[in-house]
Structure formats: structure tokens, C-alpha cells
Amino acid sequence: MNQLFAFLIERGPALIEKLVQHFVLTAGSTGIAIIIGLTIGILLSRRPAAQGPVMAVINALQTIPSLAMLAILLPLFGIGTLPALIALTLYALLPIVRNTLTGIDGLPADVLEACQALGFTERQRLIQVELPLALPTIMAGIRTAAVISVGVATLAAFIGAGGLGDFIVRGLAVNNNALVLLGAVPAALLALALDRLLYIVQRRLERRRNQAGASTHPFKRNPVALGVAAILSAALLIGLFAWHMAGDARPTIRVASKNFTEQYILAELMAQMLERHTDHAVERKLSLGSVHVVHNAMIQGEVDVYPEYTGTAWRAILGQQQTLDSATTFDRVQQAYRNQYDLDWLPAFGYENTYAILVTAELARTHDLQVISDIERIAPELVMGFASEFYERADGFPALRDTYGLDFADTAEMDIGLLYQALREGRIDVAAGTSTDGRIPTYDLVMLTDDRGFFPPYDAAPVIRRGLSQTQPDVVAILQRLSGQIDATAMREMNRQVDQEQRSAASVANEFLRNKGLLEPRIDR
Amino acid sequence: MITLEQVAKSYQHQYDALAPLSLEIAAGEFVVLLGSSGSGKSTLLKLINRLLEPDQGEIRLQGRPVRDYDPVSLRRNIGYVFQGIGLLPHWSVVDNVLTVPRLRGDDEDESYQQAFDWLDRVQLDAKRYAQRMPDELSGGQQQRVGVARALASGADLLLMDEPFGALDAITRDELQGMLKALQQSLNKTIVFVTHDLFEAIRLADRIVVLHQGKIEQVGSARELINEPATPFVENLFSKPLQALDDLRLR
């Protein structure tokens, strides 16, 4: 119980921030979907011939898996809130359009005939009769849309839009169930609360409608005017929020990371140094999906700095096949990034995090395994596991398999956070982990030597947009203070504290900086 | 007041079509269009306020062709009472009565006062019922509201499409009495569609007998009974009257 309180107190401010982000994403997308969906629904009710084709398109949108949708929007709109809002809006459209159409089309014919005979114009009939009578059906659609949005918005974390999904993605990445629940439980509660809130709105609108004659005030007489006013004020709020986000005058440094433990810690180290020693506002864009997502975001200027490994850049981004020594690799990568991508590599942190081909100590003993070549003969009896990303990369599984002639019985793609546990529990026999993971000693795992020099050196270093490094020398100076400060043992220990002691990356990073005396005194600029 | 000149309307399915026909309706007259279903009587009614447009011929209102009127304002100035109830289910009684004045943008306070007067005139206790919703009222009460709504438009002409068709005999009798009295005291012109012979006899100054889209005869009930122009009209009246006579003799 105490642990729970401590956990909630530690994460409290972050929880509120993520909850607000999540609410803005959900309410914003639902609000936009209401405006667009009502319009489409109303137009369709006037044009029966268009109903089939338009509904087919909207239905098709709904069947695109959410992650695929985000992937499609990524090259068009980059990362962040905008593509997330677009994706969520597209998902929210279907229930609203369908219910608007059903609600209006389902009205009794004699009521509509009566309107015509009494001298209603099209517009008067729509606003005074059709929409109010269809209101319960339309509101049911809006409620469905809002609940769907809350759920899908948890995936927005993959493209840096924040929200409660950040906790879930990070929790999965660092194998921390409490963190997953910290995202999932408030998301579920938010969905229930929104549904309830909209139900109350619906009841109020219906009551207004039923007391219509009591007053001539337009809002009291006309529930639709009230509804439209509510939607407009929601849109206004969103607009203000967006304006506020865009209008922050201080130069903001956006620190990014990929979605695994070590990346969170490195990003925190950089962010906290910048917060401590510069006047810049620092924004964290953590948990971006993969090296390609972060790299694109850097090129697009959507984030400013993130930690990367030379070998990853060498193979996955630059597509180089040779394996060179550490210093040469760094120089070549630095050169190529500057020329091709207008990105700078700052001096390395001081340790290497290579891919580690891992087996349990027991398996290593039984078969006398020391180097990767040793597993070739028993590979047909083994199952190898790795993170999805490892399969797609140039320095990934297919190339490794071909280099060492490994013919495994089977392979398993899984979340990187679950990989070590799967290996320990014997569900897989070989894993492609990373050499600085704190679980290697704890789980009694053995790292096999890369005897054919397959993996390039993977020195960790900050990558920064040249647009920033050229104009803000203070930022470069501060980040350089981290150069050479972290060795593999220290990194492994920090990873262990996050992965196994369930501490936050921020507090582990902060402790490290304080112990190193990097936070005091404040550096004069 | 209303002149129909060689007016015809055809449908693919012939049902409810009208052959070319002419008819003159005077101001203050209570005219009943009598016929079975498919005779064209509802079609005729709907041509007057342009819910339907004729294929040929001309309809004139106060001497001016209806096609020269804007259909929306034309309808707002002609009262209409429906076969079904036709009240808007999401509006209270008084809001329903106020429908047309509000659509026209009439002065709200004045219209509101008048709405109460109209409710009283159709013998519905305005204070008690004004704020009720339609589904809290009986069928007869609802149709009283329907009549009040038609009168509240201030129209001199009311079109009524089998308004009492769905009511029970006793309620129908009450409403017929009320309507006839109102029509005489307010001097309204009413065109009333029904298939009920006795309703026609009770209400009409003149009855127009329609059959398969043609006018069989136009005249007072007395004329139709005593001097039927066609075998159809003779048949129409003689059989029920004969049945009544038989009962009386027995």
C-alpha cells in the first residue's frame, strides 16, 4: 500500500499532465468529428444516392488498424499532436455519420409531411424538427465516438503525441506493470467519465426540448443552437490550446528518445542538464516508435536532439555493410550525418551498447557456448527471440542469420521489454538483447562473442539538429559536459534500477547527475 | 375563392390520379370532397397548397394562380389539418399551436396570447394543457390542438385531410360539432376530405363526389340524395339510407 502511494506521489504530476494531454486529444478529435460527421450525415440524408459510396469510404477508414493509420499519416504530417488528432478524428467519424443518418432517415414520414404542409423551409425543418428528434440517436453515436477515441488515443504515444499511452508504451518497454496500469486505468476511467458526461448533456438537451414553450430565449427554445454553441466553444478551446502551444516565445529544446529504457534515461540526462544550465524550455518527446521514426522527426525539425548509437546509424540509416573500429565509425557517421541530413553528432557518452546475442548460463554450460559461431550446430533445435525492429534493420536478424549460417527451429518477435523474461523462462533459447541491459547479470545470462565481426561498434552519443547546434552554442556546450561520463557499468546499473527496481528514468538520471556533480554549480554562460 | 380549371394529375400507378376537372369554391363555404380511397380526393386537396403540382390546368386562389405564390408562404397562409395527428412530438401543445406564427416570425408575445385563445376556442383548457406534450393527450384532444394550430395561422382557408378518420365515433361527433360551429362563427372557407358519408352530410354546404379521378356530382346533401346525377352517386347514398329506413320500420 505504501509502495502504491509512493508510486502515485512520484508519478502524480506526470499523470496529471498526461491525463490532460489525453483529454485534449480525445475531446479535440471528437469535437472536430462532431462538426464534420454531423455535416456529412446531414448532407447524406439529403442525397440518398451518395449514401452508399460515402459510407463505404468511412467504413473502410474504420477497418484500418490504428497503428497502420498512424504509419500512413507519419510521412504526411510528421509526429506529434496533429497526425494523432487526424487519426482519431477519422476513427470517430463513422459512428457519428452513421447515427446522424440513421437518426434523420428513421423519422416518421408523417411528421416530415406535416412540416412541409405547415410551411417549414428545408432549413427550419432540419434545425427545428429533424435534428431535435434525431438527437438521442446522434448523441449515442457521439458517445461511441468519444469512447473509441479514448482507446485509440493511447496509441498516439508512438508518434510523440503524448497522453496516457506514454505510460503504457513505456511500461511495456521497461516491463513495468504498474506503469502500464498507470496509463490504462485512468484511460478506462476517462472513457467512462466522458460517456457519462455526454449522457448528462444529452438528458439536458432533451429536457430543454421538452420545456421548449416556456421561454422565447433562443437557447432555451432551440436545443440545436445550444449544441452548436457547445461545439463551437469546444473548438475555440482547442484553438486556444493550439495557439498557446505554438505561441510559446522561449526557444524550446525538444528532447526525443526511442521507446526503451536506456533511451529514456539518456534523454532524461540531456533534458535535465539543459533545464539546469540553460534558460531554454525543454520538452520531452519520449517513446518514439523506432530509429526511423526518430530520424525522420529530426530531419523534419520536429525534435531537436536524441541519443543514438553509431552502429545503428551506420547500418540502419546509412546502409553500410563493413565493420570498422569505433573511432572510424564515429568519424564516418558524423561526416555523413552532417552532409546528408544536416545533423550533428556530439562527443559520445563514453560507453558502447552493442547488440548482444544472449543465452542462459545453463545452455551455455551444457553446450559449451562462447562465441556466436558455437550455436550454429544446435540452432535447428533452438528458438530465437528479438524485438520486431531487429528483424527489419540492415544490422538485424536476416543478415546475422546469413553471416553465421544460423538455421533456427523458429523465431519469435516480441516486445523488447518481454524478451529477457521469455529467455529466463525458457520460452525462447536465444535472444538478441543489448549489452547494457541490467537484466544480463541479474537473470544469469551469457553474452556470446561476435567472432565474425558482424555487429559494428555502437557508441552512444547525442545527435542534434545543426539548425540548433549552430545557433545555440550553449546547448552544445552543456551536452558536451556529458561526454565520457557514462561507462558501461554505470549505464547497466541505471538500466537495472529502472527495469528491476521500477524507478522512474527521471529520478535515476537525476541521481546520476547529482552524484557526478554535474548539476552543481550552475555553469556560467 | 378557389378556382380549379381543367386540372389533371396522373401517376404511373393511376391510383389517386385526377382526370381534367373544374371546380369553384366560394369564400366561407364548407366543401367536402367525398370519395373512397384512390378516388383522387387527397390529390385534389394537395394541389391547392402546392404539396403537389398539376400536370395540366390551373388553380387560382383569390383570382391569382397558385404557381405564382411562393410555396412556403402559400402554405403558411393556408391552415392544414392532417389525417394522422401530425403534431410535432417534441413540442408542447402551445408550441405546436405557435408553429406557423413562429415560422413566419410574428410577434411572439401577441402570438402567444392568441394561441391560448385558440386553444379555448377548440374547447381545450389552455391553462391546463398548454405545456403538456402531445403524447400526454388523447387522440381527440390532439386533433383539437391540430385544429387550433391551423386556425392560429390566421388563414381564411383551411384544408383538412380526413382529420377525424382515426377517432372513435363519439369523439368524432364532438369534433364535428365543434368544427361546424367554429366555421360558421369565424366564416372560414374549409375544404374537407373524407370517405365517411355521414360526416359529409353533417358538415358540408356542398359535397363533391369523386370517383376514379372524376367528379361524379357537386351539390348539397339534399340535392345528391334526391337528384343523383349518376348511378354511382345514387348507389352511394341509397344503400346506407335504405339500411337506416329499414331499421326505423322494423
Task: Return the CATH architecture of domain A2-246.
Answer: Orthogonal Bundle (1.10)
A124, A211, A216 member nearest B103 (Cβ): A124
Which residue on chain B is closest to A207 by alpha carbon? B90
More confident of the two residues A486 and A61:
A486
Residues of A in contact with B87 (CB under 8 A): 114
pTM above 0.90, yes or no: no
A120, A124, A213 member nearest B95 (Cβ): A213
Angle at A249 between CA A245 and CA A254, to 5 degrees: 65
Three-state secondary structure call for residue B102: helix
Angle at A138 between CA A165 and CA B136, to 5 degrees: 140
Provide the shortest C-alpha distance from residue A218 to chain B (in Å).
12
A252-352+458-515 and A355-448 share one fold = yes
The overall average pLDDT reported for chain B is 90
Per-residue pLDDT band for B243 (boundaries 50, 70, 90) equals confident
Nearest CA to A218 among A114, A127, A107? A127
Q: Do A133 and B86 touch (CB under 8 A)?
A: no
Per-residue confidence (pLDDT) for residue A217, from 0 to 100: 41
Per-residue confidence (pLDDT) for residue A78, from 0 to 100: 74
Q: How large is the ipTM?
A: 0.87
Q: Which residue has the cell 533445435?
A: A381
Q: pLDDT of A2-33, one tens digit each?
A: 677 777 777 777 788 888 889 988 999 999 99
From CA B118, how far away is CA B104, in angstroms rounded? 18
Per-residue confidence (pLDDT) for residue B249, from 0 to 100: 73
Q: Which residue has the cell 429533424?
A: A130
Q: pLDDT of B63-84, one tens digit each?
A: 899 989 999 999 999 999 988 7
Per-residue confidence (pLDDT) for residue A525, from 0 to 100: 46
The overall average pLDDT reported for chain A is 84
Per-residue pLDDT band for B241 (boundaries 50, 70, 90) equals confident
DSSP string covering A52-65? HHHHHHHHHHHHS-
**What does the buried/exposed string (b/e) look like for A315-338 if buried means 16 or more CB atoms within 10 Å of the residue's CB?**
bbbeebeebbeeeebbebbbebbe
From CA A452, how far away is CA A454, in angstroms rounded? 6
Provide the shortest C-alpha distance from residue B76 to chain A (in Å).
5
pLDDT of residue A209 exceeding 60: no
Mean predicted confidence (pLDDT) in A412-435: 85
Angle at A174 between CA A169 and CA A177, to 5 degrees: 75
**What does the buried/exposed string (b/e) look like for A345-373 if buried means 16 or more CB atoms within 10 Å of the residue's CB?**
bbbbbbbbbbbbbbbbeebbeeeebeebb
Three-state secondary structure call for residue A344: strand
- Report which listed range, A98-102, A227-231, A436-440, is most confident: A98-102
Query: Residue length, chain A?
Result: 525
Provide the shortest C-alpha distance from residue A213 to chain B (in Å).
5
Which residue on chain A is closest to B112 by alpha carbon? A213
CA B161 → CA A304, A425, B92, B146, distances in Å?
Answer: 75, 81, 23, 12
pLDDT of residue A342 exceeding 60: yes
From CA A134, how far away is CA A36, in angstroms rounded? 17
pLDDT of residue A208 exceeding 70: no
Which residue on chain A is closest to B111 by alpha carbon? A216
Provide the shortest C-alpha distance from residue A143 to chain B (in Å).
22
Mean predicted confidence (pLDDT) in A433-444: 88
Nearest CA to A309 among A355, A357, A244, A278? A355
A119, A133, A211 member nearest B103 (Cβ): A119
Q: pLDDT of A132-155, one tens digit each?
A: 999 989 999 999 999 989 988 888
Per-residue pLDDT band for A230 (boundaries 50, 70, 90) equals low
More confident of the two residues B47 and B248:
B47
> CB–CB of B20/B7 below 8 Å?
yes
> CB–CB of A314/A332 below 8 Å?
yes
Q: pLDDT of B10-52, one tens digit each?
A: 887 777 788 899 999 999 999 999 998 888 888 999 999 899 9
3-state secondary structure A372-427: HHHHCCCHHHCEEEECHHHHHCCCCHHHHHHHHCCCCCEEEECCHHHHHHHHHCCC
Domain ranges for chain A? 2-246, 252-352+458-515, 355-448
Pairing of strands B206-211, B30-34: parallel
From CA B162, how far away is CA B84, in angstroms rounded? 8
Query: Residue length, chain B?
Result: 250
Provide the shortest C-alpha distance from residue B227 to chain A (in Å).
37
CATH 3.30.300.210 for domain A252-352+458-515, yes or no, is no
Per-residue confidence (pLDDT) for residue A210, from 0 to 100: 55
More confident of the two residues A393 and B193:
B193
> Which class does domain A355-448 fall in?
alpha beta
pLDDT of residue A236 exceeding 60: no
Q: Do B75 and A116 touch (CB under 8 A)?
A: yes
Residues of B in contact with A117 (CB under 8 A): 49, 51, 75, 80, 82, 86
More confident of the two residues A240 and A438:
A438
B93, B99, B130 member nearest A118 (Cβ): B99
| A to B CB pairs, distance under 8 Å | 69
Three-state secondary structure call for residue A238: helix
Residues of B in contact with A132 (CB under 8 A): 90
More confident of the two residues B84 and B146:
B146
From CA A112, how far away is CA A99, in angstroms rounded? 19
Q: pLDDT of B172-221, one tens digit each?
A: 999 999 999 999 999 999 999 999 999 999 999 999 999 988 999 999 99
CA A262 → CA A183, A265, A286, A419, B5, distances in Å?
Answer: 20, 5, 11, 15, 91
Per-residue confidence (pLDDT) for residue B106, from 0 to 100: 87
Provide the shortest C-alpha distance from residue B116 to chain A (in Å).
12
Which residue on chain B is closest to A132 by alpha carbon? B90
> CB–CB of A130/B90 below 8 Å?
no
Side chain identity, residue A325: D
Kindly give, in sequence order, each residue whose CB lies less than 8 Å from that of residue A427, ignoring residues fewer than 6 positions away: A383, A385, A412
pLDDT of residue A218 exceeding 50: no
Half-sphere exposure of B230 (CA within 13 A, CB side): 13
List the domains of chain B with CATH numbers.
Answer: 1-65+193-250 (3.40.50.300)
Provide the shortest C-alpha distance from residue B149 to chain A (in Å).
9
Q: Report the residue of B90, B98, B111 to disrupt the A interface, i.e. the one with the largest count of A CBs within 10 Å.
A: B90
Q: Do B108 and A132 touch (CB under 8 A)?
A: no
Strands (E), A16-67: none
pLDDT of residue A232 exceeding 80: no
Which residue on chain A is closest to B93 by alpha carbon? A213
A111, A119, A212 member nearest B95 (Cβ): A212
3-state secondary structure A79-123: CCHHHHHHHHHHHHHHHHHHHHHHHHHCCCHHHHHHHHHHCCCHH
Q: Do A213 and B73 touch (CB under 8 A)?
A: no
Lowest mean pLDDT among A377-381, A440-444, B151-155, B240-244: B240-244
Q: Report the residue of B42, B72, B135, B149 to disrupt the A interface, i.e. the one with the largest count of A CBs within 10 Å.
A: B72
Q: pLDDT of A264-311, one tens digit each?
A: 999 999 999 999 888 888 988 887 777 878 888 888 788 899 999 999
Per-residue confidence (pLDDT) for residue A215, from 0 to 100: 39
DSSP string covering B164-203? TTTS-HHHHHHHHHHHHHHHHHHT-EEEEEES-HHHHHHH
Per-residue pLDDT band for B85 (boundaries 50, 70, 90) equals low
Per-residue pLDDT band for A247 (boundaries 50, 70, 90) equals very low
Residues of A in contact with B90 (CB under 8 A): 129, 132-133, 209-210, 212
From CA A522, how far away is CA A399, in angstroms rounded? 47
Sheet holding A305-309, edge to edge: A281-288, A252-258, A305-309, A460-465, A343-345
Nearest CA to B148 among B116, B174, B173? B116
How much of chain B is helix, strand and coil, in % rounded to 5?
A: 45, 20, 35
Cell triple for A282 = 525543454
CA A143 → CA A213, A488, B5, distances in Å?
Answer: 28, 51, 56
Q: Do A118 and B74 touch (CB under 8 A)?
A: no
